Amino acid sequence: MPRDLFEATIKGWARLNPQQRERFFLAGLKAALRLERREFREWLRRRVSEPPLAAPVDPASFAISKADIALLMRSTREQPRSPPPQRNLAVPPQTHPLRGPQFLSVRDWNWPRSF
């Protein structure tokens, strides 16, 4: 949608048939008499962005080629991962040279079922 409201209105006006122009003119006149300046601009901006004043949507602009789909499928394919290392929960906290001490959460410990 063009930034200039006047330009967008004129382009939309050109797309209307005479009956639609008459209806839009009367609705705009009623809105201009009823609303304040800013409210009227918002009213007009909403009307310009909706049919029949809005430009028709070209379905070809949404078309995706088979090559694009194949590229997208390749980029989203999961890479094989190695299984996570088994954790020995009975080992005390260890110290990593860069990250410091690594403590296990209470949820990570194997508690007896009686708790």
Q: Write out the chain in H/E/C secondary structure.
A: CCCCHHHHHHHHHHHCCHHHHHHHHHHHHHHHHHCCHHHHHHHHHHHHHCCCCCCCCCHHHHCCCHHHHHHHHHHHCCCCCCCCCCCCCCCCCEEECCCEEECCCHHHCCCCCCC
Task: Using pLDDT thresholds of 50, 70 and 90, give the confidence band for residue 100.
Answer: low
Whether 60 shows a pLDDT value over 60: the answer reads yes
Q: How confident is the model at residue 2 (pLDDT cuts 50, 70, 90)?
A: very low
**Residues 13-37: what's their mean pLDDT?**
92
> What residue ranges do the domains of the chain occupy?
5-54
pTM of the model: 0.47
